[in-house]
Amino acid sequence: MTNTTMVWWAMLCAVSAFNIAAWSTSVALARRSSLALNPVARQAMRLQILLSAGYVLGCAYRSAFPVYDVGRLVLVDSWLSSVMVGRSVATFAELCFAAQWALLMHSIAKANDHRLGLRVARLVMPMIVAAELCSWHAVLTTSNLGHVLEETLWGLCAAAQVTSLLMVWPRCNRELRPAMAAAAAIGVGYVIYMFQVDVPMYWTRWLAESEHSRVPLTLAQGLFDASFRWTVTHRWADWQSEVVWMSMYFSLAVWLSIGLIHVPGRLSRHAPRAHPQLAAQ
């Protein structure tokens, strides 16, 4: 059982090394192509590069030091694995990833004169900040209700963006439609996973907590507990429930982040001219 856990951990680390190499290669290609872009698109590409770096490196760190936050379980016996450090890294990385999608939605909506898309783009960051606060509440108090709310907000945010992409799809350049359709399909898959798997999983855990009358920690207790308590375990049974989401999160999601680096270039080449009133927004 321990060997299975270690093989999985080695796989996470190997994927993270590949991700960093892929990000570096992608950045080199993007910088070469940016020479032909207008200043606005070039700036958007720079932002995507920086935000992607935050997400790629954050996921690489979390792959090297996996943490099961609520259970305070870790694979590496070090303060680097503490819940406080790991959750702080996760928060920064996830805000970077959300910002990438907000920028993408804003660019597409602005270029295609789609006001609903602009509103959705502006809602992304507030929704994800709220989700991160719910996550911190769950991590500090060890109550999974916060995770239920967190994952619900992520799912709703993705659903809103998919809806916006589908609504703007008929207006966009035909050259961009396949990529937008693919993004929408990925978004639909993500929403289904969140509401069919992730949210029910945390809901079930919270119900189990309620049935056993487990008293959550206060925020002050949680701050101390998350900073100084961790349990090292390599048992597969302890990590099995986290394997699927961690494996997909540290691979597929990272590849999407890297791919978003090149979107400003494609939009600049194929998107129609923005509506004058929207250009100033």
What is the domain partition of the chain in residue ranges? 2-279
What does the pLDDT read at residue 280?
46
- What are the two backbone dihedrals, phi and then psi, of residue 217, each rounded to the nearest 5 degrees? -75, 155
Q: Which residue has the tokens 């809602």?
A: 123
What does the pLDDT read at residue 132?
98
What does the pLDDT read at residue 269?
67
Tens digit of pLDDT per residue, the chain (281 long)?
Answer: 578 999 999 999 999 999 999 999 999 999 998 888 888 888 999 999 999 999 999 999 999 999 999 999 999 999 999 999 999 999 999 999 999 999 999 888 888 888 888 999 999 999 999 999 999 999 999 999 999 999 999 999 999 999 998 888 887 777 778 888 888 899 999 999 999 999 999 999 999 988 888 889 999 999 999 999 999 999 999 999 899 999 999 999 999 999 999 888 877 765 554 444 444 44
What does the pLDDT read at residue 213?
80
Residues 134, 142, 91, 233: what is their CA dihedral angle, to the nearest 10 degrees? -160
The sign of the torsion formed by the CA atoms of 59, 60, 65, 66 equals positive
Coil, strand, or helix at residue 112? Answer: coil
234 vs 211: CA distance, rounded Å: 28
What does the pLDDT read at residue 94?
97
Fold of 2-279: Rhopdopsin 7-helix transmembrane proteins (1.20.1070)
Task: Give every strand in the sheet of 73-74, ordered side by side.
Answer: 67-68, 73-74, 231-232
DSSP 234: -
- What are the two backbone dihedrals, phi and then psi, of residue 67, each rounded to the nearest 5 degrees? -140, 135
The sign of the torsion formed by the CA atoms of 279, 186, 49, 175 equals negative
What does the pLDDT read at residue 52?
97
What does the pLDDT read at residue 265?
81
Paired residues of 68 in beta bridges: 73
What does the pLDDT read at residue 270?
59
